[in-house]
Chains A and B, each alone.
Chain A
Amino acid sequence: MEKGEPIIKVEGLKKKFGDRWVLNGVNLEIYKGETFVIMGGSGCGKSTLLRHLTGAIKPDEGKVYLFGKDIATLNEDEMDAIRKKFGMAFQSAALFDSLNVGDNVSLPLREHTKLGKSVVDIMVKMKLELVGLRGFEALMPSQLSGGMKKRVGIARAVAMDPEIVFYDEPTAGLDPIVTAVMDKLILDLSKTLSVTSVVVTHDMNSVFRIADRVLMLYEGKVAEIGTREEIRKSKNPFVQQFVSGSPDGPIRFFQQKDDYLESLTK
């Protein structure tokens, strides 16, 4: 893996929702061309971390650098210039209900480029071909299945030929075969478009299929960061429990038994 200047860098990131520190001092560096997976249990802050990377949320403390720039210091126009260089595939796909599939994918092209209609049409066909949905241009999002929506969301995310693509839970709620197809899709896109991919997931099969490097998040902190082999062989009990999917371990799911009786009778 070639190193150099990281394309994404996070320093001491902290975020508080109410009284709870959702992110409590996260540091990470992501390099050009790699597929970086952020994994962790539900509610550990991984989606919040992703939304900091896209600039959708501002950090309470710490800094987020995209393409070497501290995004907190940028004005709207400068931030828009950065936004055009990355794409985001949302967990719920977030397709625009009022636009058909073709218009959803072509929206950023029509708005940000001066390309003619025929060129845009060809690019939409190419992007939909990448996700295996060529010929579905005229359908409305409400006519698609969940997996198809997510694929259209990915086609839209890569419409502008971005340098980074963020995926939020690309395989959540999909059957094992579609999950495998999605993983292959992410890998293919990384290769054919040579983009940097940042994937948030809690699906261990996906992690070991696609990741170059993995970050495990637990209670707002980085529990472990390393290549997928390092994660697989990790001695860290948190990581071990998560990888093996065991109900018993240091990650507590149930509350302590001691105060159970007390809370019942209170």
Chain B
Amino acid sequence: MVFIESIGGVVVGTVTHIVKVTTLLVETVFWALVGPFKGKFPKIRAIYDQMVFSGLQSFVITFFVAFFTGIVIAMQSAYQLGKLGATIYVAAMVSVSMARELGPVLTALVVAGRVGAAITAELGSMKVSEQIEALQTMALNPIRYLVVPRFLALIVMLPCLTILSDLIGIGGGYLVGVFNLGLNPDRYIDFSFQFMVWKDVYTGLIKSFVFAMIISLIGCYMGLNTRGGAEGVGRATTLSVVTSFILIILFDCILTGIFYFSNM
């Protein structure tokens, strides 16, 4: 009986969270799209600041992750393809797996750890020190002022980072292919882009767009619902990163399934 009750509790809790996050998404999109027609424009300055923080300043960490991933895939696939005497296909292996899968997912995970955590910690501290309530009392909507700039900045910057990460990964593979496997540089580049079709790129970008929504919404939701002082902020931040990670992998699976079965 207790067992069933606790399962029921978990289900009800999860559904409540899903409903609330969806409501936050709807309100955010409302303020981003409909707000301007009511003369309530998003703050350009705030969006710019968030873009610098979540995009530009995430570049270094994205660079290292993509670069080394590119090197690793090149070495691992050379190990297999070498047995078939098809080492040149390392180029295609690296470029397609970066564009379809590793570029979007690894970038999203890195950004969830860096930006998602920062969003929750900042909004959570504002919540526990009454700053969110102060905004409301001044008739300033927290979703418009805090959530919309972070949401817009991420859905623009994460796909940009993903494109860069794809290219950097290919660069990492290039180093292995040319200097270690002794492949012809021009042929390597040819093979990289010959096998990568348009679909590989745009499915990757659709994924990163969805991941950006997940990171910003979960980050803001956890932040705005923080309770219980400094400890609460720590708990919310951990929960935000963990939830984002799980949702990113889950939606990666769902989207890959959709692209795979629909032959998009």
Contacts and interface: CB of A to CB of B under 8 A. Distances in A.
Interface of A: 51, 54, 56, 76, 79-81, 83-84, 86-88, 90-92, 94-97, 107-108, 111-112
B136 A56 contact: yes
A83 B137 CA distance: 6
Contacts of B130: 90-92, 94
19 contacts: A56-B133, A56-B136, A84-B139, A86-B137, A87-B137, A88-B134, A88-B137, A94-B129, A94-B131, A94-B133, A95-B131, A96-B134, A97-B125, A97-B126, A97-B129, A107-B138, A107-B140, A111-B138, A112-B139
Nearest to A98: B122
Interface of B: 125-126, 129-131, 133-134, 136-141
Contacts of B141: 76
Contacts of A84: 139
A95 B133 CA distance: 11
A108 B137 CA distance: 10
Contacts of B140: 107-108, 111
A207 to B, nearest CB: 23
Contacts of A56: 133, 136-137
B134 A90 contact: yes
A91 B134 CA distance: 11
Contacts of A107: 138, 140
B138 A108 contact: yes
Contacts of B129: 92, 94, 97
B139 A54 contact: no
B138 A54 contact: no
Contacts of A95: 131
Contacts of B125: 97
Contacts of A92: 129-130
A80 B140 CA distance: 8
Q: Which 8 A-B pairs rank lowest in CB-CB distance, beginning with the nearest?
A: A94-B130, A83-B139, A80-B139, A94-B134, A88-B137, A108-B138, A90-B130, A94-B131
